[in-house]
Each structure stands twice: as C-alpha cells, then as structure tokens.
Amino acid sequence: MDAPNGLGFVDETPADIKSFFDSAPPLKNDAEIRRKLKEFIERNHSSSENGRARRVVCVTSGGTTVPLEKRCVRYIDNFASGHRGAASTEYFLKAGYAVVFLHRRRTYQPYCRSLPEDPLLECFEVTSESNITVQPTHAKAVKEAISEHHAAVTQGTLLKLSFTTVFEYLQMLQLIALSMRSLGPRAMFYLAAAVSDFYVPWESMAAHKIQSGSGPLDMRLAEVPKMLSMLRKVWAPMAFCISFKLETDTKLLLEKADMALRKYNMHMVIANELITHKEEVVVVMKSGNITVRRDKTQATADIEDPLIKLIVDRHSAYISSES
Ligand code: 9Z3
C-alpha cells in the first residue's frame, strides 16, 4: 500500500492516475476540507430521517478549468452553469439526504436559483440611513432562500465545498469519496459537474503568462485519467454512483452513455443533450432506459424534481438489496 497525499492508494492504481495526483499542486485548504468532511460525515453517519439512517449524497456541480499557466492568466473552461447541481441539491435535501455540494466557485447555489442575477442590488432597497428592506416583488423568494438555506446549514445537512481547476476537483472528489466510504450503500455520488477531458500536466505548464508575438501557439494536452473506475473500485465501492453524459450529437448520446455505464460500472448514467438538457434526460440503467421530462404545464417546474424522485426510489431499492 502506498499513499501519496495521505489518501490511501492501492498498488493497482493505474500509472496515469498516480502521476496525475503526484504532480497536481496540493490543495491549499486541505486540512480544513478534511476537518469539515470528518465532522459532516460523523454527524450524519449516526443521524436519522423519518426513522431511517440518513443517506448522504455528493453532488458535483459546474465546470472545471484547465489552467494554461501556473500563475494563471488564461485557462480552458467547460460548459456548466451549476443550475442542475444547485436544483438537485435542493431536492435531495427535501428528500431527507445530507448533501456535500462540490461546486465550481461563483456558479449557481442551492436556494438562490429563483433570485435575480444581481440579487443584492435588485432585491433590496435602502429606506433610511440605517435601514434596508426587501423589495415586495422579491420578498417571497428571498424569505424562502434565507430560511431553507439556514435550515440546511444549521441542521448540518449541507456542506458546501468549492473548486476551480480540474486538479482541485479531482483531489476533492477523492477526499470526499474516501470519507463517505464508511457509509456503505447509504452513500451516493451524483456527478453533474462538467469535467475537463484534457489538461496541461503541472510539470510541463508555463510558469508565467505565455507571451504572444512569435506566431501561433502550439500546445499539447494530456488526457485527464478517468477517475470513475477508481471511485467504483477503490474509493467508495459500495456507494450508489450516477454519472452524466453530455453530447451535442444526438446520434452519439445513448451509445456513449451505455458505454460509460458498462465501462465504469455505474448504477445510472444520465444522458443529456446540450440544447435540451433542461427539458429532457434519459436515465440509462442496466435494467433499461427511462426518459424523464420537465412538466411543461408549469412554468416554474424543474426537470430535477421528477429526476431526483426516480433516483431516490432506485437508491432505496439498492440499499435494500445490499443489506
Ligand atoms: C452534465 O451533463 C450536466 O447535466 C450539465 C448541466 C453540465 C449539462 P448546468 O450546470 O448543466 O445546469 O448548466 N454534466 C456532465 C458533463 C460531463 O462532463 N460529462 C462527462 C462526459 O460527458 C463524463 S464525467 O464525458
């Protein structure tokens, strides 16, 4: 057994994964993240909801960046606003789950989705020198956002952790998975973050801002090693694992989702197309596919509402089958 970053790799860790973690810049707030995770998992491990042991889901949200320079001025980004992750977090909390919300900094946050883009400036009004009030048009949304968020944080069922780069994301995912391992089948991973497929290895990255003026820039990107097999086989083998597959070409979508299901032994792969991802997804499972659609008769309905209901049902069946 060998353990870079103190994280407990096993001997059969593939070389590309080992070298990714070995060369990644260490997390700046590693000790604080570990402490928060330990407290969160310990608290929720022994707590219950409606007479059953509490379940814990790690929801990943937003896109990872790939820095092109160590003192980063430029980076490659991935499409994802974080809306799916933030909405799903709300529905998981409503269903009694504790949620580790691993999100890209400054993307959508749970309970703030219905607020305007610039909430502080639009929602509030200065009424006197020492008073600020909520504009009546936003009062309901602001009140709900504050009280529901406050309830989740004070009950200790929501832990928010943020990332920017693919290096931070994968190191944090590993830390979370290793700490959730003790929950067995009660743990779930819902991997909605859009993760970079290619990156510049830290050791071959320019230290300073890349200079222009000497013609086109040639850059070779390495493939980000696939961590889903590590998650399933080593980090948290009993957890219920759901990954997402995003494509722009309809013809490829289901085939690629099915391939991911089998190759990484996922319990579900949620297939979505870029232009319709808020309206329709296909949940791909070994037992068959189920299409989930947003209720179009209600303007404010989210697709995540029926989607999380389906997932919670399947997770319940999984827990029963494993215990
Ligand atoms: C997704 O497919 C998500 O559903 C979206 C959500 C990113 C479309 P928004 O955050 O969008 O609400 O704006 N996430 C996974 C995308 C991804 O990178 N999947 C990888 C792949 O398709 C597998 S891990 O290869």
Which residue ranges make up each domain of the chain?
4-322
Is residue 255 within 8 Å of residue 282, measured between CB atoms? no
Enumerate the β-bridge partners of residue 281: 292
Residue 7 is predicted with a pLDDT of 52
- Report which ligand 1 atom has the smallest distance to the Cα of 63: 7
The CA 107 to ligand 1 mean position distance, Å, reads: 14
Q: Which architecture does CATH list for 4-322?
A: 3-Layer(aba) Sandwich (3.40)
Phi, psi of 251 (to 5 degrees): -65, -30
Residue 48 is predicted with a pLDDT of 85
Of all protein residues, the one whose alpha carbon is nearest to atom 25 of ligand 1 is 245
pTM of this structure? 0.94
Query: pLDDT tens, 5-38?
Result: 455 555 578 999 999 999 899 999 999 999 999 9
* CB-based burial, 238-272: b 16+ in 10 Å, e otherwise: bbbbbbbbbbeeeeebbebbbebbeebebbbbbbb
- Report which ligand 1 atom has the smallest distance to the Cα of 281: 4
User: In whole angstroms, what is the distance from residue 144 CA to residue 139 CA?
Assistant: 9
Residue 172 is predicted with a pLDDT of 98
Residues (pLDDT < 50) of the chain are: 1-5
Residue 3 is predicted with a pLDDT of 45
- Which of 88, 89, 97, 94 is closest to 48 using CA atoms? 97
> Which residue bears the tokens 């991911």?
260
Residue from 244, 270, 277 whose mutation best tests the ligand 1 pocket (most atoms within 8 A of CB): 244
What residues flank ligand 1, with Cβ below 6 Å?
80-84, 191-192, 194-195, 243-246, 272, 277
Strands 158-163 and 98-104: parallel
ipTM of predicted complex: 0.96
User: In whole angstroms, what is the distance from residue 11 CA to residue 19 CA?
Assistant: 13
